[in-house]
Structure 1
Amino acid sequence: MGRAQPWLSDAVECLARSRAGLITEHGRIGWPELLRRARDLAGVLPHAPHGWVVPADGSVRSVIGLLAVGLADPAPRWLLGDPGRYGTGESFGDALWVAGGGCAAPETVVGVTYATATSGTTAAPKLLFGRPDALPDAVRLYTDGMPEYAGAEVFAACSGLDFAAAFYMVVMPALLQGRDLLLFAPNRWDVAARELAGRPGICLAAPALAVLGARAAAGATYGGTSIVPAGGGLTFERAERITAGFTGCGFLTMLGSTETGLLTVGREVREDGHVGEPLRGKPVWLEDLDANGVGTMWTRGPDTRFAVTGGRLLTRADGATSAGDLAHHDAGGTGFFLDGRTDDVIKVDGVSVYPGAVAAAVRTLAGVVDAAVSVDRGGPADRITIVVVGDTTEERVRRACAALPQPVVPHRVLVRTAAEDAYNERGKVLF
């Protein structure tokens, strides 16, 4: 149902004593000062029928707004996203906006909720709802399961706060543990390089952007830095270019479904679709396996969402959640290879072909650093688009697709030679 108790209650003392704070290109503000401003705002926060919109732009006001909705008593509903899209236009303290009816949780949902507005590779954001009182448990799950998270002094991201990975894997751990939170624009890697040098830290960034950041990082050591490649697409070549600048850094390669939170984690750089093993304390399993051993991934835990508007989410009464990710087990039976999504499976002469297999075949071509596949089912027949990042030709891509065990004929092949123009800020290939 969602408790009405403020979800930040247990972190107040930690934040009040912390010597860390929010770091942006404009400087640093300590958690005690941010907490003071948020308390002032929360103490006079009026009732709003549909809750509050917290801006997701990574500014000081957005962090104050997030703290305020975590301190308000009774706890309100809130949404992390664009006030222009989800607010009524009425602001409060320049840090919160009154939410409009369009961002209300589904009618079947009762109790206190929060939501993040995540668009992924599409232009239409979907609202993903969870229980705010579960957020501290989610952070404990990460810190208990990953020593890198328990020991990090700084958590950094260069994406909007409403991006699920940034919210869960950077903002919440920094806030609830009273650690440094570094929010920077993709063109200000100089700020990130300065703060991460010589310190244990977590940095979430699309691999293409981390490659750019490596140029600003050269000259220092980053043995305590773990790069989390947002959106996937971490190749051997990119890893080499990143570590050439972020000397000594490591990688935490995660499969994090937007809808269901963190699923699996690995520390190897691989190009075969392997996405690691389940995080300790976060069960992950496959159901409805086909003849190839490919099934739908299910999970449960405090970082899962239970409702969605504008998207698709499977939930059960036992708390299990699935977004339709398809995978098969590795030889050891504990890790997973990702095969795609149920919505994207391609039918060729009645046989299922997985987008992950198509993308993997294209990635083996010389000069290709990444590939992504989308399926348009709006016409009389499925239309497949393949976007390739790197130095190759459309003809080579089509030959690779024709050589698959079940040949695929793409409707369009788009080759982008400049990696900087191939991804959005969240690490998703642009179609």
Structure 2
Amino acid sequence: MSKKCKRCGADLVSLPHQIDGWGEYYACAGCEHKPEGCTCEPKEAPAQPFARRIKLTRASEIEPEPVEWMWEDNGRGRIPSGALAVAAGREGTGKSSFGIWMAAGVTTGTLPGPLLGRPHDVIYVAVEDSWKHTLVPRLIAAGANLDRVWRAEVEISEDETSTINLPNDFALLEDSIAHNGVKLVILDPLISTISAGIDTHKERSVRMVLDPLARLGDRTGCVMLGIAHFGKGAGTDASSLITGSGAFKNVPRAVLAFAVDPDEGTRVMTQSKNSLGLADLPSLAYNIESVKIETKKGTADVGKFVFCGEAPRSVGEILASNGDDSEQRNDKAGAVEFLIEALAGGWRKTTEIQEEAKQIHGISERTLNRARKSLAVVAKNFPTGPNGKGEWWLALPEQSATLPDPEGKGAKP
């Protein structure tokens, strides 16, 4: 086995010399100098593959910083910057409209907090709602800067796009956030952006998506707002009602719960979780107001999310009252649930709703009317009867503006 030069790695060769007679010495084959005098360029050592190891950092080397809040309510932090947050509630409570409200505040620099007066871009990942029929009209009604709102899709071929798929598209999402200076990403609904290969009812599986999503927010300073639904279960802990595994409430730093109060006839938002701030923030009342906007194809009646002060009851108290033994309260809560399901996705004739409520569900007209008031159900007259006779139809307020007019015997083609 040949010897190697310690400087350049070349073989050493034996060369003769005549000093006090013939002899020999070892020299580098490249320059014929002794190893300690080799003039060849040193050879770089081959890069070693990265080895998994523990990285230790002294706490004294980490500079402490105060929490920066993206959204503050009267100086009290609601959603921290660079965090994963969830807005959750039952169908028809207005949680997606809240996402629109947040997007409008960020893009116009009107959101209370450190972004006030500093507009930034927003990425909106919508899986269920139509952009031209629902989201853009709602954004206009909310006063958003449409030039700063981005619809996010993934191109999977030259002429085909798909919904963002997590965790597979994390790198693409991070590039888009960094390139556009995005401060808010809305995933609506969050569960629909998770890969089909992830079991959303197992915490460990869901954390494979939510943990990296939270770290992505922390790296970029961008809030990741996921819209989530409540399951069919009962209970007073709103966070525990989120459909799927417990990771949907455990990983986010903020959880906002939304509900309709059948007793007060109002809608309520409660801070169900606030890991980095105050735990006893007051619940806020809100409405979905009807706003008319002009489009090239006519006038659209759109729902707009509006806060209207502190609420007398929290979402937890509403959930608790819906589960007590009061017959009247239970009847009204049942009627509210019936209307939300019966009116989801389309106009329904008032007479059909009344008949279905009474004959199938045993709901009296008085109880049904109380539930309609609680939900602020929209009633409109359309010429759908014989010979164009007017008939009354019902729809949920947040859907009425984007639904096509119902057709009937008297409706024009």
Give the TM-score of the pair, scaled to structure 1.
0.29
The structure whose Rg is larger is 2
